[in-house]
A and B are shown apart, each in its own frame.
Chain A
């Protein structure tokens, strides 16, 4: 006699125990501390904060630990945590010209005020596995004090170009509305730039990377130059209504990328350079650069360019950039679909017995959902 499978509760509780055990691994190996994750896996922490949309290295480290290093899962944990936090206020725009810089490079000028500052980059490390790191034990203290000169506020490259009027400017006009808050109200199409920037800032790094890459391979008419990439500390300022003046509430690490793109001009605009913009928490250069490429591609409509490539299609990019949405929906396919499948089974059997032509594989009669 058939007996339906029961014990869902027990199965779930068992899975909790098993995942705890798997996360911890061999108990004879010392447990990771949040400090270790923050200090030694800082780029993971940065990515999780960025796509998790909350600047809190401690919580990000906890999420990474809990997720056993699965960064998308860690991002999910942070997002779920932040979703119901009270919204205390909105900061003023970050002034990235005033940043304390750890790194600043420009691909467009050999030298410029403030100079080129490589900072802590993997760019020229000759990616050879460093077997000295495999040896556990005390590591000699690394003195990099000479390698890291203090770099104070340095003008942005785009501002320098602007002196000649060769690059577009984006001065907010009078009555410029506050940006919508994407986490409070859903996106409506067509979305404005401030809205899509929020979407891209939270977007999956891998997705943005692929989209940005596609614009370099002919899927969008784009000729980008990395005008400037800067990474450092920016001051976060709020201006509470009841105070009437601005207060600094701390510094956050950010990476900013300004892509400079050639633009032939249009009826209303002279030939000039246009910009694509990327900003990410922490040292997230790949993300910021990819974001800047996609931002520029999404401006096709505004700049009178033909919208032909995926990266230029606003709905395509913005509705598929979020890795929580994508991961959840792809993985929901493992949930039971007995009922839909039964309906399809019944249909296919009926079609075969009635001699009707079978649907070809490219024409799904419906789709699992």
Chain B
């Protein structure tokens, strides 16, 4: 798949500063990012700006990307693992228009990958930066909505609430009933929301060669996982962490190890499963396709 298939070139619009944000805002965000890297998993508050896209649609990820990106970068934007979903196309257009940088669909060719809800199947390399769009950065929020409280719990590393919640799941259902945004511990210290990636992707976060940055625009938080950092999904000894498996391969490329989307093909129960990561899927299809 060539990017031109669904995303024709967009000219750089000289009416906007490079990457849209003013330089002072970028500096403020850059300082927040550096502190985030220095305290992995801790959510740094930042003066999130109103962006020309709605809150909840990736404004945090956009502000992080806008603050780190330079003219030499090659950008890939995915939503649900795919380069061609409308929101991914829109964000990619935004950066083409405001930076003029080269864009790509190839995971390996990108220096910055902005993502919503997935980590690419292709392993990332040293020097790459994965920017997550995060709607709800606080892993404890559903258990304790008051920020003054959760902040103090993080300070004390007091995560009993979350362990109790997971344990109650096990008592009730026989297993942990959380399938995405599954909480993780970063470097053994901070409990972190991995943004709503499926738990299938959680293991990829740990000891990854790439830098992982997380931006939550509406909630005004930035956090980070440096390369080669331990990220553990919460579990119990007798109930180890497990990821989703499918009983059939991708209908397009035949892969048996990637995360699959279910596609409904008719109105009588017909369905098929295809890779959610479109770049990965295309690379694995038989040559004639």
Contact = CB atoms under 8 A, between A and B. Distances in A.
Given A8-B85, A84-B21, A189-B146, A332 B135 contact: yes
A347 to B, nearest CB: 5
A76 B260 CA distance: 36
Given A9-B8, A9-B89, A339 B54 contact: no
Interface string B82-104: 10111111100100000000000
Interface string A329-369: 11110011111101111110001001011010000011111
Contacts of B180: 339-340, 343-344, 366
B285 to A, nearest CB: 12
A185 B46 CA distance: 6
Nearest to A86: B22
A333 to B, nearest CB: 8
A356 B179 contact: no
Contact of A83 (B51, B79, B81, B179): B51
A324 B54 contact: yes
B263 interface: yes
Contacts of A337: 80, 117
A183 interface: yes
Interface in B150-188: 151, 172-175, 177-181
A325 B55 CA distance: 5
Interface string B27-67: 01000000000000000011111111011110100000000
A84 B173 CA distance: 49
B54 A4 contact: no
Interface of B, secondary structure class, is loop
Interface string A288-301: 00000000000000
Interface in A9-32: 9, 11-12
A302 B20 CA distance: 42
Interface string A302-339: 00000000000001000100001101111110011111
B6 interface: yes
Contacts of A185: 45, 47
B43 to A, nearest CB: 11
Nearest to A332: B56
A331 B251 contact: no
Contacts of B107: none
A76 B109 CA distance: 35
Contacts of B85: 8, 336
B190 interface: no
A339 B80 contact: yes
A80 B262 contact: no
Given A2-B265, A6-B84, A329 B135 contact: yes
Chain B CB within 10 Å, residue with most, of A2, A7, A325: A325
Q: How large is the interface on A (under 10, 10 to 19, 20 to 34, 35 or more residues)?
A: 35 or more
B76 to A, nearest CB: 15
B252 interface: yes
Contact of A9 (B7, B181, B197, B199): B7
A336 B146 contact: no
Contact of B145 (A315, A338, A340, A367): A315
A339 B244 CA distance: 12
Contact of A343 (B5, B116, B199, B251): B199
A311 to B, nearest CB: 16
Given A324-B55, A336-B87, A340-B117, A186 B148 contact: no
Contact of A369 (B136, B179, B200): B136
Interface string A92-130: 000000000000000000000000000000000000000
A184 interface: yes
A83 B174 CA distance: 49
B154 to A, nearest CB: 14
B276 interface: yes
A79 interface: yes
A184 B25 CA distance: 9
A336 B21 CA distance: 27
B288 interface: no
B272 interface: yes
Contacts of A250: none
Contacts of B248: none
Nearest to B88: A8
Contact of B179 (A9, A76, A324, A366): A366
B145 A80 contact: no
A84 B6 contact: no
A347 B118 CA distance: 18
B261 A343 contact: no
A357 B172 CA distance: 8
A329 B86 CA distance: 17
A57 to B, nearest CB: 20
B33 to A, nearest CB: 15
Contacts of B118: 339
Contacts of B59: 328
Chain B CB within 10 Å, residue with most, of A183, A325, A343: A343
The 6 closest A-B pairs by CB, nearest first: A328-B55, A332-B56, A8-B89, A343-B179, A328-B54, A329-B56
Given A2-B263, A329-B55, A369-B136, 7 more contacts: A84-B17, A328-B59, A335-B57, A335-B87, A342-B261, A343-B198, A343-B244
24 contacts: A2-B265, A11-B86, A12-B93, A83-B50, A83-B51, A84-B17, A185-B45, A186-B45, A186-B220, A315-B147, A324-B50, A328-B59, A329-B56, A330-B56, A331-B56, A336-B85, A336-B86, A339-B261, A343-B179, A344-B180, A359-B173, A365-B177, A365-B178, A366-B177
